Amino acid sequence: MSSEGKDFLGKSLSLNATASGEIDIAIRQASAENIFSEVSSPGIRVSLQALEARDEFTLTAPTDNPVEVTFDKAGRIRDVKNVEALEEQNLMNFSVVDVLRNYLPVFPDGQVSLGDSWKDHKRMLIPFQGMDLTVGLEVTFYLNDVLPSPEGRMALISADYGVTLSGSKNLAEVAGSFEGKGSGSGSLVFLADQGYIKEYQLNYVVDGAMVMRKDGKNLLEWPFSLSVNASLSFLEKR
């Protein structure tokens, strides 16, 4: 995830966050409506850079103290437990749970055929300078094709993203707000016979501005762009 401010208080500001690593998901129990899993990780390396400062840290969740995650049948996260130890390692200004909730794809609640689509809405809050920035995602998934493969039937799914960014704060007689809109796309490969995702990618860009207003009139405006790129590959272990 990266953000660039253009001529922000006379400076060009660049903020970047990158993460890479392995997450292990163990299915412990399944019902017609829910899947109960344990999520662990030997280490996710996170790098944050803002202005001249740079922080690097590693998030770990050992197998003897995993995060307990409940998914519904569409892949939505319904409950997360035992996340406190993981969050204590987190130096970011947003929760690891929020990342899981907002970037994993979801599946339709019922059966679909080739050419069908389904929608999902996601909302993420990011604290910033005393305000909550709200990132809203409106996602439409499309089932484009189902192909044979050595691993069984392979469903090819694409996604369109509509993105909004908003947040405001009153400063005496002046009101400051972040305003932005954007779009993007994603792709998903799902192994239908085995019941898990093989690959998932998403990319979107938001163009917006921080606007200072007084009595409804714009005083200052600083444009910025925000880009998000994510790629996940899932490997089955027995």
pLDDT tens, residue by residue, 134-185: 889 999 999 999 999 998 999 999 999 999 989 888 877 888 888 899 999 9
Last residue of a domain, which of 104, 122, 137? Answer: 104
Number of domains in the chain: 2
Within this chain, do residues 86 and 121 fall inside the same structural domain, yes or no?
no
- The distance in angstroms from the start CA to the end CA of the chain is 33
Look up residue 132 and give its two tokens: 């909550």
Within this chain, do residues 118 and 235 fall inside the same structural domain, yes or no?
yes
Distance CA 135, CA 167 (A): 9
pLDDT tens, residue by residue, 191-207: 888 878 889 998 888 88
Paired with 183 in beta bridges are 162, 205
Within this chain, do residues 98 and 140 fall inside the same structural domain, yes or no?
no
Within this chain, do residues 24 and 136 fall inside the same structural domain, yes or no?
no
Detail the DSSP E strand segments found in the chain: 2-8, 11-30, 34-50, 53-61, 67-72, 77-81, 117-128, 131-147, 154-171, 174-191, 196-214, 217-233
Within this chain, do residues 233 and 116 fall inside the same structural domain, yes or no?
yes
* pTM exceeds 0.85, yes or no: no
**Segments forming the whole domain that contains residue 35:** 1-104
Within this chain, do residues 100 and 114 fall inside the same structural domain, yes or no?
no
